Amino acid sequence: MGLFTNEIKTMSDLHLHVLQDIYYAENQIKKALPDMIEKATNRDLTAAFRAHLEETEKQIGRLEQAFKLLDKEPKGTTCPAIDGIIKEAKEVAGECDNKKVLDAALIAAAQAVEHYEITRYGTLISWSEELGHDAIAKLLTTTLNEEKSADKKLTTIGERKVNMKAAG
């Protein structure tokens, strides 16, 4: 379902569209994280990425539960935003040859991902509540909290461990 095909007529259609968007995005994140784990050198950073990969798998499961609550098959719709964020991350990482600088670049890229997810889940939670899908709002709130703490953890790792070393 694209935004320009007039297939989105109601708030329910739009809600489902964004659910499909974040389902696609989470699956792309799941595919991208192993590469980021491999590239990261700071131990806290690799541990944080590993933990978030596990969380991402659970988040995909929660989205599948949300589709089920709507009597819909889990399905993704291409999200050009996450594709762009991941593409940019790969490009920048490919250009870093200093390992400490690479860690800082990976943190920045991962935080761009978390912030995208935070906006999507925030919107979906509001719309789920407005549309009376309280069970979905509850599921997605658990995920939103995980995204927020992943973001905070990355800030801490960046500020305490990585950025100083990268600066020399």
- Binding residues for Zn ion, per CB under 5 A? 21
Q: Is 23 in the site for Fe ion (CB under 5 A)?
A: no
Q: 92 is in the binding site of which of Fe ion, Zn ion, none (Cβ under 5 to 8 A by kind)? A: none
Q: Is 117 in the site for Fe ion (CB under 5 A)?
A: yes
Return the structure tokens found at 159. 């500020």
Q: Is 125 in the site for Fe ion (CB under 5 A)?
A: no
15, 16, 19, 21: residue in contact with Fe ion (rule CB under 5 A): 21
The DSSP H or E segment spanning 118 is helix 99-130
> Cα-Cα-Cα-Cα dihedral of 125, 127, 133, 137, to 10°?
0
**Nearest residue to Fe ion, by Cβ distance, number only:** 79
- Cβ atoms of 107 and 158 closer than 8 Å: yes
Q: 147 is in the binding site of which of Zn ion, Fe ion, none (Cβ under 5 to 8 A by kind)? A: Fe ion
Q: Where in 63-82 is the site for Fe ion (CB under 5 A)?
A: 79, 81
**Nearest residue to Zn ion, by Cβ distance, number only:** 21
Nearest distance from residue 3's CB to Zn ion, in Å? 5
Tell me, by CB under 5 A, how many residues bind Fe ion: 8
